[in-house]
Amino acid sequence: MPFRLLFIATACLVCQPAAAGAVYKCHEGGRVIYADRPCPGAGAALPVRPAPPPDPQTQARMERARDMALRIDQLRAEQRLREERAADAARRAALALRKRCDKLRLQGQWLAEDLGRARGDAREAARIKLRRQAETMAVECPA
């Protein structure tokens, strides 16, 4: 933000000679008024001296400051873009994990149903499958 103010101040200094025009000192009703047009009553044009040329060292410093401000703005925009991309990647990863966990929960539900219907040796195999699936669920979806 301070660099932008510096840039604006530099622009004002550079443009000042072009903006200078005639200044008129007018007397109206016992008051003195300054205007950019000739006075309808009593008044006189005041000489306007041109502004001195800008100091080359100051001008170079201002240009460096402007370049630095532009570079800082560019770096901030790049950082913001990186952060947005990282946040988007994190959202996609969280969505994929939630999807995987939902799938594992559903598989566990199906295995529990299979265990309830199983008889004899198939019941022990179904119990082992359900336990292994529960272990997988505990590892991949701790919450």
pLDDT tens digits, residue range 41-61?
666 777 777 788 888 999 999
Give the pLDDT of residue 17.
Answer: 47
Tell me what pLDDT residue 48 has: 73
Element (H or E) spanning 24, and its range?
strand 23-28
Q: What are phi and psi of 10, to 5 degrees?
A: -65, -45
Which tokens in the block code for residue 8? 């604006």
Domain borders along the chain are 93-143
Give the model's pLDDT for residue 38: 77
pLDDT on residue 28: 74
Please state, as a whole number, how many other Cβ atoms lie within 10 Å of the Cβ of residue 24. Answer: 15
pLDDT at 2: 59
Q: Which long-range contacts (CB under 8 A, 24 or more apart) does 50-56 make?
A: 50/17, 50/20, 51/16, 51/17, 51/20, 54/13, 54/14
**pLDDT on residue 49:** 79
pTM above 0.75, yes or no: no
Residues of the chain with pLDDT under 70: 1-21, 41-43
Task: Supply the pLDDT for residue 88.
Answer: 97
